[in-house]
Structure formats: C-alpha cells, structure tokens
Structure 1
Amino acid sequence: MKTKPLGAYAWLLFAMVLWGSAFPSSKYATEHVPHEVAALFRFGGGAVVLLLITLVRRPQQSPPFKAVLGACVAGIVGVFGYNALFFWGVTMAPSSDGGVIFPALTPVITSLVLILSGHESARPARIAGLGIGVGGAALFFVATTTAGGAGGSDRLMGDTIFLVGAAVWSVYTLLNRRLVVGMDPVQAVTYSTVAGSLALAVMAVPHFGSVQWGELSGGFWLNAVHMAIGPTAVAYLLYVRGIRDVGASTASVMMFAVPLFSTLFSFAFLGEYFTWAQGGAAVVMLGGALLAVVSGHRAMKPSVQREDPQPPDRERGAAEPVASGAPGGTAAPQARDAVVPEAGTR
C-alpha cells in the first residue's frame, strides 16, 4: 500500500478551512442584503465559476440525459432547498450554530434513515454514536432555550431551521446516491449548482428592489466573490482531489474539522460565542456523530474499501457529492464508502 502524500492532506485540510469560512461569510452577507439575494450571490457566482472550469476541462464525453436530469433534481433539493433554509436560519441564529448543527446532524439523520430502511448495518458502536449525537443535539437546543441574552427565541428558531436544513440535506444525500450515476463529478456539481441557482434566482428576484445597491461596500463585494469561489467551487474541487489521493473514508472523516474552523472564524470576525452549556453540548453532538461515522467505516471496510486511491470512473461519478452542501455549506459531502454517502459544505 502506497504512503499517502502529505500534500494531499494539506489541500484537503484547506478545503475544510474554506467550507468553515462559508458560515460567517454567509452571515455577513445576510446583514447587508435579503437572505434570498445572499444565497443567489453565493451559488449564482459559484455556478459561473464551475461552468468556466467545465468549459476549460472539456470532458471527453457528454453525460447521458438521465444523469443530467438526476443532477438537476439533486441540485433543486441540495442547492435550492438546503440553502434557502440555511440562509434564512443564519438571519436569526449565529453562523457558529449552523457550523456545528449541519456537520453533526446530517450524518446522524442520514445514518438513521439508512439503518431503519435496512440499507446499512446497526452495529452497537454505531447505534451508541447516533444516540450520543441525538442526545447532544437535544442538549444543544435545551441550552439555547435557556441561554437568555445569548439569542433567546430567535436563536432557537434559527437553530430549528438549521435542523430542518440538515434533514433536507440528508434527503439530497440519499437522492444523489441514486440519481447522479455514471457522471463526471465536476460535471455533476456544475449541473446541480446551475439548476439550484436558477431556482434561487426565482426566489431572489422579487427582493432585488429592497437592496440599496449603491450603498454596498467593497467589503461586501469581496465577501461575495469569496463565497462564490472559495467554499463553493475551489473547496469542492480540492475535496474531489482529496478523495482521489487519500480515499473517501479519510476525506469524509476530515469533514468534522469544519465546525472547528467555522466556530473560530465566527468568533473572530463576527464576535459570536457559545455559552458553556452550548459548547459542551456541541462537543457531545459532534463526538457522537464522529463515532457513528468511524464505526460505520470499519463495518463497511472489508467489502467496499479499496487499496487503489483512484476508483473507476463510474464509481467516482456515483460517489461524488454536489458541492453545495457544503455548506454553507458545508454540511459536508462524503463518498459512497462512507457512512453518509455524498453528504455534507458544505
């Protein structure tokens, strides 16, 4: 077995940094324009960047119509549905809350669905991890309810919207597993982002009249460019490269670094904070989710883990995520041999 290059881990970690930055960047944008317009700036701009990348790459063959249609359907759910909720939630709750709730609860919700439907095994360690994750989420919401001056009812409402968004991203994950098959990953994310961005445009256009366009600062436009290029386009491409170089399981587990970076950026640039109770609950929630994901990897390793760091084209096409999620994104995408296929920025 070949030793993984250190540079591959560095680029993958940089993708996590970019996805972590998406949460405070999105919050900052919604403080200047309606959240519908902020979502369009991020993913409309990201769609343009991805279209340019696709044109430069010039794929050797066109994808089948069925795969294109599947990518577009996934984009309506993953780009439009998820981000309409995320950008709405971030107007009421701190971005740091979303940076914890999405990465922690998306794998928990998706794993529960897969186990209950009989598609994946219910190992004791995995069930324990899911239980801890759900318990941590409950504690987080209770801590938010009792936080008083730390956000009150608005913060609780925003966190609830984040929770619904995590569930929508889980639906997207399961859809993407079936719909985006036999397709180049960059093409898949491009079609999905364009389709979702068109839906976001329909939602955003009625709010253009309320934007004071002449009063938007240079800092706002720099942030808009960052949202479109960094966490929406570049981070996804680095994540795909990471899957190729270090394997999907390792890459997906590294998604748990996103809450760390999102929290650091939110605290440093927006002055946000957790109460001690919220911080402790967040650690419990993330720890449970990580245990569920890692134990799932171990359970599946004998049958699906491969020594070859570059799986066949068809497998890569079926496995890769649509970048949106990253969300904000970055409920973060993961690959097919991970517990949560294609989920996640994020």
Structure 2
Amino acid sequence: MTRPRATAVGFVAILLWALLALFTVGSTPTPPLLLNALCFSIGGVLGLIWTWASGGLGQLRSVPWTTYVFGTVGLFGYHALYFSALRMAPAAEAGLIAYLWPLLIVLFSGLLPGEHLRLGHLLGASLGFAGAAVIIAGGGSTGFQADHLPGYGLALLCALTWSGYSVLSRRLTDTPTSSVAVFCIATAIASAALHLVIEDTVWPDGAFGWASILALGLGPVGLAFYVWDIGVKQGDIQVLGTASYAAPLLSTFALVLAGIAAPSWGLAIAALLITGGAALAARASLRR
C-alpha cells in the first residue's frame, strides 16, 4: 500500500472518532469498565471474523507476546480513562482535552527515525492547540469549572496514552493489522474482570443505550482501530496527527446537533484555528 493511500485509510478513523463522545454519552449510565468490555467484545469479534475470512489467523501466531501486551495496554488504558472522564466532566470539555493527542502525536513523531519536525508542523500544531483551548475556555457547553478537574485530569491522561500508543506503533510496522483484533479481545476480558471487582453492574438505559454501545463497538471502538493501525504504520503520521484536529471539531458539532452541548461563537473561531492548523502542518509534510 502506498504512503498516500495508507494516510487516506487512517483518515477514516478520525471521522469515526468524531462520534465517540456522542455515543459515549448515549451509553449512560453504563460504568466505564463494563462499557469497555461490551464495546471491545464487538470490535474484537468482528476483527477475528475479518482475519479468518482473509486467511490471516496464522499470522497471529508469529506476533510476540510483548506486542500483544503493548496493544492491550494502549487500547484498555485510553478508553478506560476516556469513558471515566466523560462520566466525571461535561462531554464537550472532557472530549476536547482528550483530543490534545493529535498535538502530542505531531510533536512526539519528530523523535522517530526518518521523521523531522518542521516549522510548519509546529505552527500548525500551535494553531490546533489554540483552537482546542478556545473551546475549553468558553466555547463548550459549560466552560471550565473546578469541580470537573478530576475528569479533565483523566482526559489529559487519555491524550498522553493515545499519542504514545500511536507513535510507538510506528515501530511495529512488521506486526499485522489483524493483531488489533487480539488487542480488542484481551481488552474486553481485562475490562470485564476489573468491572466485576470494582464496579456495580448497570446495563444501558433502553434501546438507545444499547444502540449507542453497538455503534461504539462497530465504529469508534471497532473499525477505527484497524484503519488507524494501517495509517500510523504505513502512512504519514504527522499529517494524520495534525489532521486529527478535525476530530474534536466534528465531535463538538455532533454534540451540538444532538442537543448535548450549546453552540457559541467560540466554536466558529476554534473551527478556523483547527482547520487552518491542520492545513498548515499537512502542507509542511507534503513539501517534503
């Protein structure tokens, strides 16, 4: 697969993750670890079916166990933190803090062999960060509030976890994408085990709650991982990281359309900053 095509495949994940916050809110009041278990069970089973149909089951035997541990920790850690953050703080604000991971990907990727940070990357990342800051400061549904700090702190850990996972995945280019299915199944098992120990079981509220969980498992917590794996391993990780600034914008729009977050002028200003930053950083990579 060519680098531009792999980058385009990675863009699909960004579109799917734009719906992550909306469906997470729809899954209320299911606790985070149970939500993890349900969603990753769906995504993992679908991945195994695809792997079997494509004749790739044999490849899974050659994957080192350390790679399986790495992938499981990445998926489990990010989503356990993300679901918890959105249960402890307003969805718009917590989601946007979690979406600082594109900025971190662009910066961290400069440490990879063969990659270099250019002025355009830094300026684009700065514009994207400024756009997210505008929304967090006053363009979201409630603005910043001190009693939501625990949720905001978990959201920041989300950003660090996913950016680290994405950048380090670049060093696993020989690992087949089908291994993501094993990551998902292992994450579901670990989440279910911890849920039984530390959480009360609360099932989704009605048909809409179950539909939200199904949508999460099929898209943002399913297909998104497989296409993202292709993108970060074979595509332009700096373009993907910066273009990911569109995800918080699209996510906020989805929350506004659903009536969960209120629209504001701050959203329009952030839109210009985010899209302009993504275009600037993408141009810097393309000029290479």
TM-score bin, normalised by smaller chain: 0.7 to 0.9
Higher relative contact order (CA 8 A, sep 6+): 2
- Please list, as runs of the form range in 1=range in 2, the aligned pairs for 1:80-229 lying within 5 A after superposition: 80-103=76-99, 105-115=100-110, 120-143=115-138, 149-150=142-143, 152-178=145-171, 180-185=172-177, 187-207=178-198, 209-211=200-202, 213=203, 216-229=205-218
Q: Distance in 1 between matches of 2:120 and 2:197?
A: 49
1:43·1:228 contact (CA, 8 Å) conserved in 2?
yes
1:103-152 Cα shifts (integer Å, max 9, x gaps): 4x2232133234468863232222222333444455555447xx895462
Q: Distance in 2 between matches of 1:273 and 1:63?
A: 46
Number of residue equivalences: 283
Superposed displacement of residue 83, structure 1: 0.9
- Please list, as runs of the form range in 1=range in 2, the aligned pairs for 1:235-254 lying within 5 A after superposition: 235-236=224-225, 248-249=235-236, 252=240
1:86·1:162 contact (CA, 8 Å) conserved in 2?
yes
Superposed displacement of residue 254, structure 1: 5.8
**Are 1:27 and 2:34 an aligned pair?**
no
Q: Distance in 2 between matches of 1:281 and 1:56?
A: 43
**TM-score between the two structures when normalised by the length of structure 2:** 0.77
Q: Distance in 2 between matches of 1:118 and 1:239?
A: 20
Of the candidates 71, 76, 84, which is equivalent to residue 72 of structure 2?
A: 76
Change (3 A) 1:45 1:293: same
User: Which 5+ residue runs of structure 2 have no aligned equivalent?
Assistant: none
Change (3 A) 1:39 1:293: farther
Change (3 A) 1:223 1:119: same
Change (3 A) 1:117 1:227: closer
2:34·2:201 contact (CA, 8 Å) conserved in 1?
no
Q: Distance in 1 between matches of 2:106 and 2:226?
A: 25
Q: Distance in 2 between matches of 1:34 and 1:60?
A: 33
Q: Distance in 2 between matches of 1:241 and 1:126?
A: 22
Q: Distance in 1 between matches of 2:133 and 2:258?
A: 28
**Are 1:268 and 2:257 an aligned pair?**
yes
Q: Distance in 1 between matches of 2:149 and 2:278?
A: 21
Q: Distance in 1 between matches of 2:146 and 2:186?
A: 34
| 3-state SS in 2 of match to 1:62 | helix
2:59 alignment counterpart: 62
| 3-state SS in 2 of match to 1:271 | coil
Superposed displacement of residue 219, structure 1: 1.8
User: Which 5+ residue runs of structure 1 have no aligned equivalent?
Assistant: 300-346
**TM-score between the two structures when normalised by the length of structure 1:** 0.66
- Give the alignment's Cα RMSD to 1 decimal: 3.9
Q: Percent identity?
A: 25
Superposed displacement of residue 220, structure 1: 1.4
Q: Distance in 2 between matches of 1:241 and 1:138?
A: 30
Aligned partner of 1:192: which letter? F
Q: Distance in 1 between matches of 2:57 and 2:66?
A: 20
